């Protein structure tokens, strides 16, 4: 894709959005127009994403070609990105303000408000009954494994699979069970 193919398409979409906004100002704005405007904005976002991707690819190609040097292209790309991401001003009490101190103060207030931790998480569990384990079930969970349970667990596993990076598969454990069973039982019991 080329940059030239996206720009006329973007201009057409912007013109269509502007025409719909004019209809809205006059009062001839229908629900279909509102839906169409939303679709146009989505299309505009897609084109912007494609343009950003294309610019990043071009920057990457240029960087690969020219190396890591402080070139005019590098600095112009940084300047373009900085200008694009810059917050020019904020609306405070219905008034547009571009004073840097006020912009910083409002941004700080916004993030404090949005990310402020509260004690109330909005979850209420009053009246919710949770099922609990019986004493026998609880004792079975904390009981020590018997040698027979461990042996049955090993024999239920597929023999060619290795449970870890040590390389011993379950066929090895099954064939050498009589020799290593005490060690395996000890390890499982410690766990």
Tell me if residue 69 falls in helix, strand or coil: coil
Tell me if 97 is assigned to some domain.
yes
Distances 125 to 60, 118, 158 between C-alpha atoms, Å? 54, 18, 44
Tell me if 20 is assigned to some domain.
yes
Tell me if 135 is assigned to some domain.
no
Question: Do residues 48 and 70 share a domain?
Answer: yes
Tell me if 123 is assigned to some domain.
no
* Alpha helix ranges (H) inside 27-146: 31-66, 72-85, 100-115, 135-142
CA-CA distance, 62 to 64, in Å (whole number)? 5
Q: What pLDDT is recorded for position 178?
A: 92
Question: Do residues 82 and 17 share a domain?
Answer: yes
Which helix (H) or strand (E) is 96 found in, with range?
strand 95-97
Tell me if 168 is assigned to some domain.
yes
Q: What pLDDT is recorded for position 3?
A: 59
Question: Do residues 82 and 96 share a domain?
Answer: no
Question: Do residues 26 and 58 share a domain?
Answer: yes
Residue 17, classified by CB atoms within 10 Å of its CB into exposed (0-12), middle (13-18) or buried (19+), is middle
pLDDT, tens only, 90-140: 888 888 888 888 888 888 888 888 887 666 667 777 788 888 889 999 988
Looking at the structure of the chain, the number of domains it has is 3
Length of the chain, please? 191
Residue 74: CB atoms within 10 Å: 15
Q: What pLDDT is recorded for position 1?
A: 54
CA-CA distance, 112 to 118, in Å (whole number)? 12
Question: Do residues 14 and 56 share a domain?
Answer: yes
Question: Do residues 81 and 95 share a domain?
Answer: no
Distances 99 to 87, 88, 96, 113 between C-alpha atoms, Å? 11, 9, 10, 21
Question: Do residues 176 and 145 share a domain?
Answer: yes
Question: Do residues 9 and 72 share a domain?
Answer: yes
Q: What pLDDT is recorded for position 142?
A: 86
10-residue mean pLDDT series, the chain (191 residues): 71 86 75 84 88 85 72 82 83 85 88 77 78 89 88 86 74 89 89 77
Q: What pLDDT is recorded for position 160?
A: 79
CA-CA distance, 153 to 146, in Å (whole number)? 11
Q: What pLDDT is recorded for position 179?
A: 93
Question: Do residues 68 and 113 share a domain?
Answer: no
66 lies in which domain range? 3-86
Tell me if 130 is assigned to some domain.
no
Question: Do residues 8 and 63 share a domain?
Answer: yes
Q: What pLDDT is recorded for position 182?
A: 92
Question: Do residues 155 and 167 share a domain?
Answer: yes
Question: Do residues 154 and 107 share a domain?
Answer: no
């Amino acid at each position: 894709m080329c940059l030239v193919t996206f720009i006329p398409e973007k201009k057409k979409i912007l013109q269509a959005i502007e025409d719909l906004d004019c209809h809205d100002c006059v009062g001839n704005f229908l629900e279909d127009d509102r839906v169409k405007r939303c679709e146009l904005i989505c299309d505009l976002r897609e084109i912007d994403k494609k343009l950003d991707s294309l610019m990043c690819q071009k920057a990457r190609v240029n960087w690969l070609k020219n190396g890591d040097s402080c070139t005019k292209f590098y600095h112009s790309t940084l300047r373009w990105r900085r200008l694009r991401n810059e917050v020019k001003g904020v609306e405070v009490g219905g008034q547009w303000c571009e004073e840097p101190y006020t912009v910083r103060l409002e941004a700080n207030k916004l993030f404090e408000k949005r990310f402020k931790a509260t004690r109330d998480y909005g979850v209420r569990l009053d009246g919710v009954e949770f099922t609990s384990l019986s004493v026998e079930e609880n004792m079975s969970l904390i009981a020590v494994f018997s040698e027979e349970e461990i042996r049955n667990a090993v024999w239920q596993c597929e023999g060619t699979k290795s449970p870890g990076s040590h390389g011993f598969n379950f066929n090895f454990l099954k064939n050498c069970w009589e020799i290593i069973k005490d060690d395996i039982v000890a390890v499982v019991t410690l766990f």
